[in-house]
Amino acid sequence: MPKLKIILEGDGIWRDLKNKEIIHVTEGIQIAILKEGMKSGASSISIRIDLPDGRTVIAETSLKLFINAAAAFEAASRE
């Protein structure tokens, strides 16, 4: 079962990265639906991030968790 941590107050988040090398990208991000991506046959979401050095990061979560996160972010943005 995939896990997704939803952080609704993200300003100033990830202070633990202060002394680490960070690769911050705003381009080369793609999101795709995998219609039967879960073992259960449910849909999942695949997130691809192409890094400037040529490496690629792939992250996956369930469509259900992705939709719940989006709804939570939308509600938090209205507060």
The reply to whether 31 falls in a domain is yes
Mean pLDDT, rounded, of the chain: 93
State how far the Cα of 76 lies from the Cα of 70, in Å rounded to an integer: 10
The pLDDT of residue 23: 92
The reply to whether 12 falls in a domain is no
In contact, 35 and 63? CB cutoff 8 Å: no
pLDDT bracket for residue 41 (50, 70, 90): very high
Does position 2 have pLDDT exceeding 80, yes or no?
Answer: no
Q: What is the pTM of this model?
A: 0.82
User: Exposure of 62 by Cβ count < 10 A (0-12 exposed, 13-18 middle, 19+ buried)?
Assistant: buried
pLDDT bracket for residue 79 (50, 70, 90): confident
The reply to whether 11 falls in a domain is no
The C-alpha angle 1, 44, 14, rounded to 5 degrees, equals 70
pLDDT, one tens digit per residue, over 22-40 is 999 999 999 999 999 999 9
Give the residue numbers spanning the domain of 73. 25-77
